[in-house]
Amino acid sequence: MVIGSIGAALEDSAAPASPSATEPAEETDAAETETPDEPAVDEVTEEPTETETETPTADPSDLAADVEAAVLASNGVSAFSELGTSSPGYAITGIEEITSSTIRVQVQQQLTDAERDDTARWVFNMSCDAVPALGTVVITDISGIDHNWYADRNVTMCS
């Protein structure tokens, strides 16, 4: 009888343990339910970031593309490499917009001061009719140093 009482007491004490084991399972379910909510918040956060990134990226290509197209059309070529080696634009590898009125012209060789000046004047003069918004040309050769030229001081053919 004593053994039977102890056995019953052990069963009673084991019974409350089972609901306790169920409670952590419910907590786990709650934790799992919260986890999917978090990525949804991350997705919402990412969308404005992508929108902010797209806006600046869309604007810079317009002025640079307009200047490049105008310069190439003025010379009757479709690429800078088609220009003769005596042309100031022959070594140009790219044009990028810095601001709404400023472009950077990248040149694949080391230029002297006179060559940088010729290249900047050439870019202004070949594009001034087609791209009046161009105010500053920055020449960057392989030295990596930027040199600035301003339309109000360098445009000679378009005034």
Domain span including residue 47: 1-58
- Note the maximum CA span of the chain: 118
**How far apart, in Å, do the first and last CA atoms of the chain sit?**
117
- The sign one gets for the Cα dihedral 67, 69, 75, 79 is positive
Same-domain pairing of 140 and 92? yes
Q: Which residue is associated with the tokens 């059309």? A: 73
Say how many domains are in the chain. Answer: 2
Give the CATH number, domain containing residue 113: 3.30.300
Residue 21 domain-assigned (yes or no): yes
Residue 159 domain-assigned (yes or no): no
The span from the CA of 53 to the CA of 46, in Å, is 11
The span from the CA of 140 to the CA of 98, in Å, is 13
Residue 84 domain-assigned (yes or no): yes
Per-residue pLDDT of the chain (159 residues; tens, 9 = 90+): 555 555 555 555 555 554 555 555 555 555 555 555 555 544 444 444 444 444 344 444 489 999 999 999 999 999 999 999 999 999 999 999 999 999 999 999 999 999 999 999 999 999 988 999 999 999 999 999 999 999 887 666 565
